A and B are shown apart, each in its own frame.
Chain A
Amino acid sequence: MSRDELNIKDNTSLFKEARYLQQRENKKQFEAPCSEQETAEALAYSKSAEYMEKNFSRQNVVINPHKACQPLGSVMAALGFEKTLPFVHGSQGCNAYFRSHLSRHFKEPTPSVSTSMTEDAAVFGGMNNLIDGLENSIALYKPEMVAICTTCMAEVIGDDLNAFIGNARVKGVISEEYPVAYCNTPSFVGSHITGYDAMLKGILSYLYTRSGIESKPGSGAESGEKLNVMLGFEPYTGNFAEMRKILAAFDTKYTILGDHSGNYDSPATGEYEYYYGGTKLEEVPQAANALGTLSLQKYTLKKTQEYISGTWNQQIAALSTPLGITGTDKLLEAISELTGLPVPAMLTEERGRVVDALMDSHPYLHGKRVALVGDPDLLIGLIGFCLETGMEPVHIICSNGDVDYNEVKFKEEAEALLAASPYGSEATVHVGRDLWHMRSLLLNDKVDLAIGSSHLKFAAKDAEVPLVRVGFPIFDRHHMHRYPIIGYQGTLNLLSLIVNTILQQLDDHNSGFNFELVR
């Protein structure tokens, strides 16, 4: 078939045609109650400094939020374990949102079920739903473990998961041995990162306790001199691969606690399975004997870290997302310290190559003013990366930044990091603010570049700032999550993404004199 025969206009070109433009004009008569002029004035006002002040004094409404809720994180944590079915106790729309959200980001199916609570459950409690749900889902999806998290609804009516699961066992719906981990994750506190933490801790402590194993940390005998690694709420499957590469270079044995990369980066074999990869269940109790634990998201994994250092009595190296050269250096030092192994020459060489790449690009990065949006640990990493490349973070928004680790709050750490560099002197860290605040910031104090999730695209477009998509969720670009952003390789990827966005800008907005071949 020739291409001409398939030439049907899509809505991008179609709706620019006169007949559609006319239709649009006609509709304006209904757009009550403002006139065109009033609308234009209001729009202009919304971009003013005066409005920014009002926007920042806004107390009681969130406009364009940048956080998801706890159970969404729990679902991701559950998918990090082998043949584990995430099970959301509440009304079913929550689960549908989580599945859509995660699938739209990773472009992969998300197996997760709901207890589909309805009005009668609201009155009498959700126990029957939970028990029926366990029976149905185990029959349908044949998981080897079920990981239950709650939603607002179950929390408000006060459902007791532990008792309900016990009753399910008494009723014979599940056997005494069948593993069911759980955690409480109401959405009205915390965010997706707290939910991730709650479920990871829930699964680790459950599997450890039921195994009857007594931890002998650093014993090595059973663990084979192993290291535990936790990546946390990790929207990049590529980051798992990068971590594996680094650990293989060190030639250390390790267990990744919570590895959802299999589920979100499985091959197309022609046959869909419900579960791919994940941490093996029997490895979890053994992990208590490891040399130590490396955490790559210290704010996200707060409770899990406390559990591991407390109950497992293990040494913990808690970092934030290791971005940039300095961030990766810290990572390698931490591995070296925990394992007693030297940093392999291969990685030192790679470091040199990436430093070289950063030098090549530095003239285009120096002094670029940047706005950042993201989760706390990612932001710490990004701030570090910006500062070491001479980019200047200006506006930083962290909606869920109300977290601390070892009594250091995210905001304090971010501010200290910024204060230690001359490139950080312009920056303000906003915690608990939303993307409508960011819009005001972008419009009133201009930047060259915005870095954040797809949700930032509306504010970035209003302010005509190019957006580099980093973090979660990325709905409108493909395959970003397959490329690591951590480690030296990740630093190179991030650098390419940023510097080429800047170079594209130069081409797009050239004055006619600087449309150059060589840059």
Chain B
Amino acid sequence: MDPVRHDEFDSQACGSIAPKVKACPRPKPGEAAGGCSFDGAQITLLPIMDAAHLVHGPVACAGNSWESRGTLSSGPSLSQYGFATDLTDSDIIFGGEKKLKDSIDYIAGRFAPPAIFVYSTCVTALTGEDLDSVCKEAAERLGLPVIPVNSPGFVGSKNLGNRLAGEALLQYVIGTGEPEPETVMGVNLIGEYNIAGEMWDIERLMGSAGIAVTSRITGDARYKEITWAHRAKVNMVVCSRALLGLAREMEGRYGIPFFEGSFYGAKETTYSLRQMAYLMNDREMERRVDRLTEREESRLSQELRPYRKLLKGKRAVLYTGGVKSWSVISALKELGVQVVGVGTNKSTQDDVRRIADRVGDDTEYIPEGGASRIIKTVRERKADIMIAGGRNMYVAMKEQIPFIDINQERHKAYAGYEGLLRLAKELAYSLGNPIWKLAASPAPWDKEAPPYDR
């Protein structure tokens, strides 16, 4: 695959071609829908591991969410602490700004973080707390970046929250620091959150090709490295369309070229590495990448052989939301798994176009509808496996459908060449587990056939 610049895409933050429907569409009332903007903003920034993340609102916005994501750290764990200002009814009436100020002071004094991110919530946005000025004042007083993240739950979807977090990084973080003069500059990885340690696999791969990572935005990141993200030579937007606006803006401000890529599947991985080298404009690096990817791909194809036999012709329904819809399709295709249904509920029109490039005509698109709609597709298309997120996992179990968790809660890293091998293993294990046979057979004294013959 040749490297190309997708210049024809005009990237609005929530989609690139001029959208026919509104960017980051509003959620529909009365459905069992996904997270909110607060959630989205936290997800984007929590992987900055050495920073403190303080939730300004009632205790449960933090209480319901602290330490429940699988984004791994190679060192500091401050980001895993649940900090909250714990507003009560009297704070709602009389204001919680004093409490916020004191909380910031306590965290700064006790934990000495390189920065504090302060998140607004529905409550503090509605009562009109002046987050920006409290943060600004605290930052000056403490000599420490205190960054307001104005992303209350009600402003919209999770994707919008990712985007607002990106804006906070642009406004308060990127461009505020400089690397040591001898540091080799390379690529920023944007929208890669190191779920299950995927970032580490990617980083190692880039290291083998001699490509330096400048800033991780934000998987296993340290605050300091993001401050000098503007010095990178290339931005790669990994699987998060919501942060495309960040890359776009950095291109405008700092002239850093960007591309969108994925590390799911060997082909996508090779493409991404080549694209990096190409945009770095380094011939030697391009040659190194070619050698590396050829070697890795041929090694991988050897190792995949036994799995391919098992997986050939298997049919999958994919409901991951967002960009993983298309990137995982490539990975599955390489393993010989046919995608017969794919969720498009959180995908932009670009994503849908990419899906269309990768699947056949008879693949069903699932725009919305939650669990029952997905199950229906699995049944109708006689799929063998469902690949989705945690909230749908237990529904699949009830329906006795083999399942792989591929969203934020996953415990397996699927990125890069080794990741594809892991994905193959998980698919083989999930499909081949003896429990499905047991579950699909009636009790010996009960002659009734199972509802669906797989």
Contact = CB atoms under 8 A, between A and B. Distances in A.
A359 B150 CA distance: 59
A129 interface: yes
Nearest to B435: A268
B4 interface: no
Contacts of A91: 36-37, 122, 152-154
B60 A67 contact: yes
Nearest to A132: B29
Given A93-B35, A271-B451, A32 B394 contact: no
A120 B262 CA distance: 36
Given A30-B222, A272-B375, A156 B127 contact: yes
A458 B200 contact: no
Nearest to B177: A32
Most chain A beta carbons < 10 A, residue from B64, B203, B393: B64
Interface residues of B, number: 107
B103 interface: yes
A5 B304 CA distance: 9
Contact of B154 (A87, A119, A132, A270): A119
Contacts, number: 295
Contacts of B112: 33-34, 38, 42
A271 B64 contact: no
Interface in A89-104: 90-101, 103-104
A15 interface: yes
Interface in B388-437: 390-395, 397-400, 411-413, 418, 421-422, 425, 428-429
B326 interface: no
B399 A272 contact: yes
A59 interface: yes
A271 B397 CA distance: 9
A454 to B, nearest CB: 9
Interface string B50-65: 1000100111111111
A61 B88 contact: no
Given A10-B412, A132-B30, A153-B122, A1 B390 contact: no
A272 B395 contact: yes
Contact of A32 (B82, B107, B222, B418): B222
B84 A1 contact: no
Contact of A98 (B31, B64, B89): B64
A484 interface: no
B1 interface: no
A113 interface: yes
B183 to A, nearest CB: 9
A48 B306 CA distance: 56
Contact of A6 (B57, B83, B392, B425): B425
B155 A14 contact: no
A121 B399 contact: no
A58 to B, nearest CB: 6
Contacts of B367: none
12 contacts: A15-B197, A62-B82, A64-B67, A91-B154, A92-B35, A93-B153, A100-B390, A113-B31, A152-B123, A156-B92, A270-B452, A436-B81
Given A99-B32, A140-B372, 10 more contacts: A61-B84, A61-B103, A62-B83, A91-B37, A91-B153, A92-B35, A97-B39, A103-B393, A114-B31, A135-B30
